Amino acid sequence: MWWHGRFAIIRAVKLSSLLSLTAAALLLCGCQNTFTRFRVTNYHDQLVAEWVARGYVMPLERGYGITAVERISGPPYSVVSRYPDGWPTVVIGPHIHHWHCPKPRWLAEYEGDMPPQAPKKSAAR
């Protein structure tokens, strides 16, 4: 029967596509739980803005493409903006410092997660 061989080829291609899509989905889901803090300063090392990003950080020519969950504007009138569903934006500035950070406490409470607890200090007797 001529169709048995063709069915096996089509089935194998579909199975490999399914496996690659599953692997990509797992990788992307893993990236959604990482958080990165960005600090943008001017040439005098004064704070311009601070961001907390969720998920993948895309390096661009002059900055980073992020999904922001929090933004703190610099002085003199600091404003804290929170985006629980994320806000796609670009971080641009003369000096950009970034590092991994834990999930913000307000976001953990909003999503129903248990925020990380600080270790309790025992009282000296």
Q: What is the DSSP letter of 123?
A: P
Q: Is this model's pTM higher than 0.75 or not? A: no
Cα–Cα distances in angstroms (integers) from residue 48 to residues 13, 54, 77, 78, 96, in the given order: 51, 20, 11, 10, 10
Q: What is the pLDDT of residues 62-89, one digit of tens each?
A: 999 999 999 999 889 999 999 999 999 9
Answer positive or negative: Cα dihedral of 93, 97, 100, 105: negative
The predicted pLDDT at position 83 comes to 96
